[in-house]
Structure 1
Amino acid sequence: MKPELEISPLTATPDTRTQLAAMLVETVAHGGSVGFMYPLTPEAAAAFWDGALGAAERGERIILGGWNGEQLIGTVTLILNTPPNQPHRAEIAKMMTRPQWRGQGVAAALLREAEALAVQNGRTLLVLDTASDEGAAGLYEGAGYIFAGELPDYALKPHGGLTGTRLYYRRLGQK
């Protein structure tokens, strides 16, 4: 079943915070390499999102949510807070789709919206990384991101064991 996807920037409402935390816990439990280890407590997930949503309120990032009705089914973060010598770039981070909605175009739609917002914010280069094992390389390559290299043994997988990370970039506003 295809979602009736609505994408919007997220703010720190109690419901959004709760749904983001639940999605992060679920993603980690399913092996998603998003910076956390299993088991991830709902409290730790909520604390992460409190900080991230605070950064969004300060204009340091944009957190997008993909909604199917009242259910948050995907998210991606566009990090805008870069060093002074890098005002032209942004970073894609924390791409997550709830497991039951994967393969339905949610992540691709979130990525396209993040790219459009990057352009609106004067960014011409996007960078990202994804786990070498079970990461989203296919999504990013299909969206036109260029593989820049791989770092071996970069991070622990949520359930243990090392994985590398694949680095990607995409120039915006160019054909």
Structure 2
Amino acid sequence: MKNQLFIEQIEDTDPYLDELAEMLVLVVEGASIGFLPPITKEVAVEYWKRVRKPGIVLFIARIENRVVGSVQLHESSSQNGAHRAEIAKMMIHPEFRQQGIARKLMMVAEEKAISGGKTLLVLDTREGTAANSLYISLGYVEVGRIPNYARSADGTLHTTVIYYKQIGLVV
């Protein structure tokens, strides 16, 4: 029998710091999420301590009480942006990829955005990753690309792809 996946919104990262930090260290080895590999566990712990602030909603995915993924919903802080939010820092532990966890995290984040009155989600990701296919399959629309946006540890510059999705609109 397949292990059950639980997704929850958390307010406090402290109970999960070790697992979140371990996941971040591993994810940074192959993903463009704002860090350059290698990062230390200490850097990862400090990052997760700073995540909990107003306007950021954090979801984690757990299987058998183990943190296997996370995603953030960043609410716009501008007066004219109260209707939108950004999807940020989608992470899936390398041992748990290709199991539909990212899709489920995205769906929960979207539901939260809709319940909070959001009608527009935006995100960006590095060109050529599996995330691009995921976002398109979830109905995100590519807006454009910015060349040489993110640097890899070896100095290579990569293009980022920007997406949006209109949500919660009654037609």
TM-score range, shorter chain: over 0.9
Is it true that 1:51 corresponds to 2:50 in the alignment?
yes
Which amino acid in structure 1 is aligned with residue 102 of structure 2?
Answer: A
Aligned residues: 170
Could you say which residue in structure 2 is the equivalent of 1:9?
9
Distance 1:128 1:2, change over 3 A: farther
Counterpart residue identity of residue 10, structure 1: I
Query: In structure 1, what is the equivalent of residue 39 of structure 2?
Result: 40
SS in 2 for 1:136: helix
- 2:28 paired with 1:28: yes
Query: SS at the partner of 2:106?
Result: helix
- CA 166–13 in structure 1, closer or farther in 2 if over 3 Å, else same: closer
Work out the CA distance in 2 between the residues paired with 1:2 and 1:134. Answer: 27
Alignment of 1:135-174 (within 5 A): 136-174=131-169
Label 1:171 to 1:106 Cα distance change in 2 as closer, same or farther (>3 A): same
TM-score, normalised to structure 2, is: 0.93
Query: Match of 1:8, as an amino acid?
Result: E
* TM-score normalized by the length of structure 1: 0.91
Match of 2:85 among 90, 110, 117: 90
C-alpha separation in 1, matches of 2:38 and 2:56: 27
RCO comparison, higher one (Cα < 8 Å, 6+): 1
Q: Is the 8 A contact 2:125 2:132 kept in 1?
A: yes
Deviations 1:40-99 (A, max 9, x none): 01111111111102x1xx3x1110000102100010000014211110000000001111
Check conservation: 1:82, 1:89, Cα contact below 8 A.
Answer: no
Pairwise CA RMSD of aligned residues? Answer: 1.6
Give the structure 1 partner of residue 125 of structure 2.
Answer: 130
Residue correspondence of structure 1 range 53-72 to structure 2 within 5 A: 53=52, 55=53, 58=54, 60-72=55-67
Instruction: Choose 163-172 or 5-14, whichever is displaced more.
Output: 5-14
Amino acid at match of 1:167: I
Deviation at 1:160, TM superposition (A): 3.6
Percent identity at matched positions? Answer: 38
Unmatched 5+ stretches in structure 2 = none
